[in-house]
Amino acid sequence: MNHDAYPDSYIREILNGVKSIAMVGASPVNVRPSYFAFKYLAQRGYDMIPVNPGHVGKNLLDKPFVASLADIGRPVDMIDIFRNSSHIMPVVEEALRLDPPPKVIWMQLGARDEAAAARAEAAGLKVVMNRCPKIEYGRLSSEISWMGVNSRTLSSKRAPVPTQGMRLSLNRTSVGGGETAASDRAAKNRNDAT
């Protein structure tokens, strides 16, 4: 894989395929990029697991922090690493010891470790470096276009409604209460005449 220019098809397949994502270095501080990404991906339906030994005992958006990947205790599809490049290798080594191992290693914007990527790819995992899954999801879905960002996608199909399906609500304010409408008055007058 050329880690300088991923085809959209590669990223799309990963984001369509994974269901659970463990985020290593997730922060409960709501101005940190990891918090933004965690919240966004959780809202898109991914099963998010925050991994950060400094916050065990606390929750991130109702999900309990775990100290390490080994503590998750169930299979996980993707590891999203929110750490500096110098801290990537130990996380990848830990991920490869999981049984079953994850399918994808994703290193955040600014994070690259060629050796760790090579090791994960040799074990059959897909690797993404120096990208943000929130930005890529927003770009490929074109939601990020609302911010004037170039999604580098085109479509002539009607877009899906941005929230959970278009179900028209019955909870609208009714206008009425009495003989306010001309048609009501007309009907009443007709009855009066007969």
Partner 1 sequence: MNDRLPGFATLAVHAGAQPDPTTGARVTPIYQTTSFVFNDSDHAASLFGLQAFGNIYTRITNPTTAVLEERVAALEGGTAAVAVASGHAAQVVVLQQLLMPGDEFIAARKLYGGSINQFTHAFKSFGWNVVWADPDDIGSFERAVTPRTRAIFIESIANPAGSITDIEAIAAVAGKAGVPLIVDNTLATPYLIRPIDHGADIVVHSLTKFLGGHGNSLGGIIVDAGTFDWSRDNKYPMLSEPRPEYHGVKIQETFGNFAFAIACRVLGLRDLGPAISPFNSFLILTGIETLPLRMAKHCDNAKAIAEFLSGHAAVAAVNYSGLAGNPYNNLARKYAPKGAGAVFTFSLKGGYEAGVSLVSNLKLFSHLANVGDTRSLVIHPASTTHSQLDDAAKARSGAAPDVVRLSIGIEDKEDLIADLEQALEG
Query: Would you count residue 157 as binding partner 1 (CB under 8 A)?
Result: yes
CB of 191 to partner 1, least distance (A): 40
Query: Would you count residue 135 as binding partner 1 (CB under 8 A)?
Result: yes
Element (H, E) at 36: helix 33-43
Query: Would you count residue 44 as binding partner 1 (CB under 8 A)?
Result: no
Q: Which of 150, 180, 189, 191 binds partner 1 (CB under 8 A)?
A: 150
Q: Which of 14, 35, 91, 106 binds partner 1 (CB under 8 A)?
A: 35
Spell out, one character per residue from 69 to 108, where the chain touches partner 1: x when CB under 8 A holds, - when not.
Answer: ----------------------------------------
- For the record, the structure tokens of 93 come out as 């080594």
CB 153 within 8 A of CB 142: yes
CB of 44 to partner 1, least distance (A): 11
CB 19 within 8 A of CB 9: no
Q: What residues form DSSP beta bridges with 20?
A: 47
DSSP class per residue in 59-120: EETTEE-BSSGGGG-S--SEEEE-S-GGGHHHHHHHHHHSSSPPSEEEE-TT---HHHHHHH
List of residues contacting partner 1 (CB under 8 A): 7-9, 30-31, 33, 35-36, 39-40, 43, 109-110, 132, 135, 138, 142-152, 154-163, 166
